Amino acid sequence: MSPRDQGYIEMADPGPDSVVAKFDLHVHTVFSRDAVNRPEVVIRVAKKKGLRGFAVTDHNTVDGLNSFSGEKELIVVPGVEISTGSGHLLGLGIYECPVKGVQLEEAIDFIHQRGGLAVAAHPFSGFKMGMGKALLEGAKVDAVEVFNASNWFPRSNAKARALRVGGKTGGSDAHFPWEVGNGYTYCTKLNPGSWEELLRAIKGGETDGGGHLSSFSERLYGRLKQRFGDFRPQREESLR
């Protein structure tokens, strides 16, 4: 078994018998320039995978949030992934976005002023803009994404978990339909009835992150389809 396979399942995940509810709190849609997920496809895949809900976290824009306003069965958390001067920051529970490149402290204040949670996204990813250094220097985030399914190596998630800063979340960082739900935030005691209740649970330390890493073949397949114009979302929401 390879080192990657050994870390494929996040050890903190207690398994389906202990999980009350799962939420993928890092999902991109077509409103992120590098993603192809149409809103209706995200909803279908989330339901098929048994998620209680998900967060819409497009890059530096909230333009896609209205596309989910009619969804009643799943809990849809409004949010955004903000590119700060120190790395990527998730703003959960907000409907606005600061300017790209804002300083980290200003972004955190922006989120808090609107009643949201500031979550450090993939802080130790080697290929994405993580804010691990800022966290080690004491950045005042509310939670850390301790499991990101798009990290290439399990050790990136292990380093995030070792920080023990604030609450814990997990997400897929999905840019393609089959990635939705690969990573998630789970509750073992509470089954939130709203995204506000979920955010309170995160801040109160009542959640954790788990799932499995998206495979290299999944990512390569998606990027090739996207690059050569042969991506047909209406077919790709099947879980391959």
* Tally of CB atoms within 10 A around 89: 28
Residue 15: pLDDT above 70?
no
Q: How confident is the model at residue 235 (pLDDT cuts 50, 70, 90)?
A: very low
Tally the domains of the chain: 1
Provide the pLDDT confidence category of residue 5 given band limits of 50, 70 and 90: very low
**What does the pLDDT average to over 56-60?**
98
pLDDT class of 33 with cuts at 50, 70, 90? confident
Using alpha carbons, select from 97, 87, 106 the residue that is nearest to residue 144. 87
Distances (CA, A) of 9 to 175, 218, 226: 20, 16, 28
Tell me the mean pLDDT in the region 75-95: 97
Per-residue pLDDT tens for 152-163?
888 999 999 999
What local confidence, expressed as pLDDT, does residue 215 receive?
Answer: 83
pLDDT number for residue 222:
67
Question: How many CB atoms lie under 10 A from the CB of residue 9?
Answer: 14
The token duo for 66 is: 């209205």
Q: What is the mean pLDDT of the segment spanning 83-111? A: 97
Task: Give the residue with greater pLDDT, 144 vs 229.
Answer: 144
Distance CA 24, CA 27 (A): 7
Confidence of residue 177 (pLDDT cuts 50, 70, 90): very high
Amino acid 216 reads: F
Whether 146 shows a pLDDT value over 90: the answer reads yes
The answer, yes or no, to whether residue 115 has pLDDT greater than 60, is yes
CATH of the domain at 35: 3.20.20.140
Statement: residue 7 has pLDDT above 50: no
What's the pLDDT score for residue 198?
98
pLDDT of residue 17: 59
CB of 109 closer than 8 Å to CB of 94: no
How many Å is the Cα radius of gyration of the chain? 16
**What is the spatial distance between Cα 234 and Cα 205, in angstroms, rounded to a whole number?**
38
Name the pTM for this structure: 0.88
Strand 79-84 relative to strand 75-77, pairing:
unpaired
- Structure confidence at residue 127 (pLDDT): 75
Answer whether residue 14 shows pLDDT above 70.
Answer: no
The mean pLDDT of the chain is 87
Q: What average pLDDT score do residues 162-188 get?
A: 95
pLDDT at 238 over 50: no
Look up the domain containing 131 and give its range: 3-236
Average pLDDT over residues 186-191: 88
pLDDT at 240: 46
Give strand pairing partners of 55.
Answer: 77
